Structure 1
Amino acid sequence: MELMSNSLKIPMPGAAPTDLASRSRRLGWSARADAGRARSFVALRGRMLASPSLAGALHFMQVTNRPWEPHELRAWLDNHVIAPGWMRPPRAVREPGAETVALGELDERPEAVAVLTGRARRRVGSALLDFVAPDPEGKFLRAALYSARVRWAAVGDRSGWLPAPRESDFLSDVVLSLFAAAILSGPDIYQRHMTVCSHCGRVAFAQEARPSTAACPRCDGEVRWRVPLAGAGRRRGGGGTGEERA
């Protein structure tokens, strides 16, 4: 770029604009670009959370950070699995390593419900950690497809994956079917933006593909994502991640 001197109008090759107005314009363009990306991410996140399957899956993972009460499990099943038509009411709730609890006996067995939902949450978290790993195996997505816990549906000009869990499925597999339907409908979005805490299982979505820190805001655990920071280890501690809570 060539600039002209104010006095002699002689070309000055290689000169770079250093005046305050030029710097302000550059900063303004950068700020507008950042604001545009932020608005796009907020809009994208809004569309993602509008998915009934993702909303149900996230609700399960966020609420069960503490022991779950029987009425919470029943409400989750009713609102996020049965009412949308993903599955008929199960006779009992099952999970590997936990006692099976009949649906009609949830209120009488709060301790068993707490153990069962805790185990389910850990199993779901483990599957999601594999999905966001730098070299994922993708086991839970393949399992959802091969076991037909998700199905492809087309209504008019719209099509996508829907959850299709069975009443006999483990609770964790029911939750994973909700995640699988959402992820299969837009895998690139989840690969770029989804983060998972390796300690508490918190699922969130980061605006940037490479968050600048790796500390979970809820438990200070290690946050993992698909693409690790280049040339830097995962760090713990304060600092913003550009992360939006799910």
Structure 2
Amino acid sequence: MTKKKNLGLGIDIGGSGIKGAPVDLEKGRLADERLRIPTPQPSTPEAVAEVVGQILDHFDWKGPFGCTFPAVVQHGVTQTAANVDKSWIGADAQKIIHAATGRKAIVVNDADAAGAAEVEFGAAKGHKGVVAVITLGTGIGSALVHRGRLMPNTEFGHLEVDGHDAETRAADSAREREELSWEDWGARLTRYFGVLENLIWPDLFVVGGGVSKKFSRWHPYVQTRTPMVPAELLNEAGIIGAALLAESD
């Protein structure tokens, strides 16, 4: 599949799976059924890049593409490594993937990609203010967008709140691990979001992650001055956002 007008390709690298698909960049949705391949173990840069190449070949994709990664990504270099092999720390991911696939890759943080997609096509579409997209899962991911422009590599999940790394207390994994009620978890989220909004004063919170599908069950227990809505693109947000950011690079 050679690159066509208004068509991009995104790949979402995670600790357990690597997913990719062509994306309709006008409508903000997948243009074909996504392909998922288990993340190789160990998940070294070379092994992961090989799987990325398999996905590109599956879709016969010849052009540039976007690729998410669960890490801080500065100018294509992965500075951290969450749920993947530690050999990614300090690796030039864009060069490694380009060398392995023969195609130009734009590598971005996974939460940043999801945030960009939600602002362009999802729950915050058309919003002109400061939008904070927060994903509640194993950890807490974050993306900050102002007037449609992404401010990359925010790590708001690691704010210190009451002496704790926020995600160790307020992530969905903490709720499950401690068997918290929705009300008790809501109290922790209230505290977390309160600290965050006092730092950045956003106009809107968009909350993603699997628990966003249960928004009505826990949101009544979260008190913020900032409006809060659930994400809309869910599991496709990373792929869509990666393709979008590659197109705008």
Q: TM-score, normalised to structure 1's length?
A: 0.28
Give the structure with the larger helix fraction: 1
Higher relative contact order (CA 8 A, sep 6+): 2
Query: If you compute each CA radius of gyration, which structure gives the higher value, 1 or 2?
Result: 1
Give the structure with the larger strand fraction: 2
